Amino acid sequence: MSLRAWRLRPSPKAIAAILENGLGRANRYNVIDPLVELLAQHHGVPTDNVLVGCGSTEFLQFTPWAFLGDGGDIVVPSPSYGWSAGVAETMGRRVVRVPLGEGGAVDVARLAKAFTRETRIVYLANPNNPTGVEEPTGLIEDLLSGIAADAAATLNKLAR
């Protein structure tokens, strides 16, 4: 028997609590409208501006499709979680990799210098993956203020 297998059945109380709290409907198509409405209201934006997904990877995949379809490049720190960069490369787009600074921190000044008129996406994981270094919010805001109005900023933020 696998160490991950539990040979005893779950408690009837545990099953009742799971079913009472909505997991009994988990096999249904997701109904996310209430969540989207609450998020939009909280952030003061229209519901059309809110996307909900199952983790960041699906968003990191379709961001290059949405913003690099007609050309352009993506600027990313390196090393970092590279899903968007990989998608951009498969599309034949240029990926500008900017080496990390001292101690594995993102070199924000160097990253900003890599922006060109062709930059359509800047990607930043915070904390960075794989280094785990977290950048201060003010530094990120400074960086993002330097991108073009028609470019996308993708911030992959770990919720704590």
Enumerate domains of the chain plus CATH numbers. Answer: 12-48 (no CATH), 55-157 (3.40.640.10)
Per the CB < 8 A criterion, the answer to whether 102 and 55 are in contact is: no
β-partners of residue 76 are 97
Q: Which of 64, 117, 57 is nearest to 95 (CA)?
A: 64
pTM metric for this prediction: 0.72
pLDDT band at 1 (very low <50, low <70, confident <90, very high): very low
Supply 97's token pair.
């990799």
- Structure confidence by residue, pLDDT tens digits, 101-141: 988 888 888 988 999 999 999 998 888 888 888 888 888 88
